[in-house]
Amino acid sequence: MNLDHTHDPLARSWLASANAPGADFPLQNLPYAVFRRAGSTEPWRGGVALGDQVVDLAALAAGTLLEGVAAQGARACAGDALNDFLALGRPAWRALRHALFALLRQDAPATAQAAVRALLVPLADVEYRVPTRIGDYTDFYTSIHHARNVGRVIRPDNPLTPNFQWLPIAYHGRASSVVVSGTPFRRPWGQALPPGAPTPSFGPCKRLDYELEMGFYVGPGNAQGEPVPLTQAEDHIFGMCLLNDWSARDHQFWEMNPLGPFLGKNFCTSISPWIVTMEALAPYRVPFAHPADEPQPLSYLDGAANRAEGGIDVRLEVLLNTAQHRARGAAPHRLSATSFRHQYWTVAQMLTQHTVGGCNLQTGDLLGTGTISGPTPEEAGAIVELSAGGRQPIAISGSGETRTFLEDGDTVVLRGWCEAPGRARIGFGECRGEVLPALASVT
């Protein structure tokens, strides 16, 4: 993906908050969400973040500041989901990005600045919804470090399954329980087999976990029976978000004999509201390769472009904010930090694998990358790894507590950003979710 003037790290906006050091949403980012003023009955509509404001795309589309393909793109963002815009494909995505960049940069005409300023809504005043109509949600399993860490909990003598190094593994998730950041959820009920017990028990989850992931949204889909080759895969990917695949480990480990996750995963998946486009992430593409002494991808999952820049260096962190933290006014505890660049398979390989058998992806579909863990213990992307399956309690700073798994009242916050010398910082905002107590009974 080529860099252009919209990636210029020296470019500044006339909106001062977009130029602030450490800002998630500078001029070079321009991520998309669906929003309205909090507590209002306004229509949901698409918006683009800049600094501490949202550019109302429905209002922008109703005016005369845009023309041609860019105007078409803005009109496609005016509804309560971004599917129509995602379906337009890369030419429209790029046209609207370039037009917005021109309107928002420091040297934009004064009349344009005044007109756009009237369309801004403060981020502090808005609420969000899931940004697309998600027809299907698939979650992958593509961190070899996570696979080995969790595998040691389940199969200490043989932690890595034989297929992991040959293909991006995935399971079909539940789109109906995907929720936007800030939505609390109840601790789920289900079956589990307690250690040493001859029969399973039924009750609220006792081993509730988070999973640090990213998600990516499908742009144009593909026809059933027509796979997407690796060289074309990223033409079908609009952008990325943060994703928390909440997991009931005791239920999951009992039911995954022999099929994949079911109740252990289908009760809630949280996503950040902002979609950071692949265009904005272009300066942070990095080479991808499996170690030379490990199996190399089969030909349909391999290619020069994917090797040259298939990876993305997104820095990630997980924060835990317990009820005691909030009561004391203490800062959240940082559980771990890592980078998406460590993933064993790229987003292009995931999409190609998903379609190689003829599966037809649809515009707005969400694909999760699987838990993101790095090579060191402090880079683990789930508490089951950090606590060694619950055997090693984690000391929580600021509250004096410990955790082996999540407790009621815990809030988990995922954050992500790209940053490097000589490049503009590109942020994702945050993905937040709070654990509520289980229902008293489900019978």
Q: What is the pLDDT of residues 23-37, one digit of tens each?
A: 999 999 999 999 999
Residue with tokens 């429209």: 92
Strands 269-271 and 394-396 turn out to be unpaired
In the predicted model, what is the mean pLDDT of residues 276-293? Answer: 97
Residues forming beta bridges with residue 137, ordered by sequence position:
366
pLDDT at 352 over 80: yes
Cα–Cα nearest to 404, from 381, 387, 424, 425: 387
Tokens of 185: 């959820």
According to DSSP, residue 293 is labeled: T
The CA-CA-CA angle for residues 86, 91, 93, to 5°, reads 45
CA R_g for the chain: 22
The CA-CA-CA angle for residues 150, 155, 156, to 5°, reads 90
| Choice among 62-76, 149-163, 290-304, 337-351 with the minimum mean pLDDT | 149-163
Banded model confidence at residue 152, pLDDT cuts 50, 70, 90: confident
Amino acid, res. 314: V
Provide the whole-model pTM: 0.97
Beta strands in 38-125 (DSSP E): 45-50, 53-56, 120-122
pLDDT at 408 over 90: yes
- The values of phi and psi at residue 137, to 5°, are -130, 125
Residues forming beta bridges with residue 320, ordered by sequence position:
333, 412
In percent, the amount of the chain with pLDDT more than 90 equals 96
Q: Where are the domains of the chain?
A: 5-129, 139-436
Active-site residues: which are they?
146
Segment 50-102, tens digit of pLDDT:
999 999 999 999 999 999 999 999 999 999 999 999 999 999 999 999 999 99
- What is the model's pLDDT at position 257? 86
According to DSSP, residue 398 is labeled: T
pLDDT at 218 over 90: yes
Residue with tokens 């949204």: 217
pLDDT at 1 over 80: no
Task: Give the count of beta carbons closer than 10 Å to the beta carbon of residue 201.
Answer: 13
| Average per-residue pLDDT for the chain | 97
Q: Note the Cα 78 to chain centre separation in Å.
A: 23
Task: Give the count of beta carbons closer than 10 Å to the beta carbon of residue 357.
Answer: 8
- What is the model's pLDDT at position 293? 96
Cα–Cα nearest to 294, from 158, 164, 159: 164
Tokens of 31: 């991520």
How many Cα atoms occupy the beta-carbon half-sphere of 205 within 13 Å? 29
- What is the model's pLDDT at position 120? 98
- What is the model's pLDDT at position 432? 98
Segment 89-112, tens digit of pLDDT:
999 999 999 999 999 999 999 999
- What is the model's pLDDT at position 2? 87
- What is the model's pLDDT at position 157? 82
Report the C-alpha gap between 201 and 14 in whole angstroms.
60
CATH architecture of 139-436: Alpha-Beta Complex (3.90)
Segment 125-141, tens digit of pLDDT:
999 999 999 999 999 99
pLDDT at 241 over 90: yes
Report the C-alpha gap between 297 and 442 in whole angstroms.
46
Segment 221-238, tens digit of pLDDT:
999 999 999 999 999 999
Topology of 5-129 in CATH?
A: SH3 type barrels. (2.30.30)
Banded model confidence at residue 155, pLDDT cuts 50, 70, 90: confident
Q: Say if residue 393 is preceded by a cis peptide, omega within 30 of 0.
A: no
Amino acid, res. 178: V
pLDDT at 399 over 90: yes
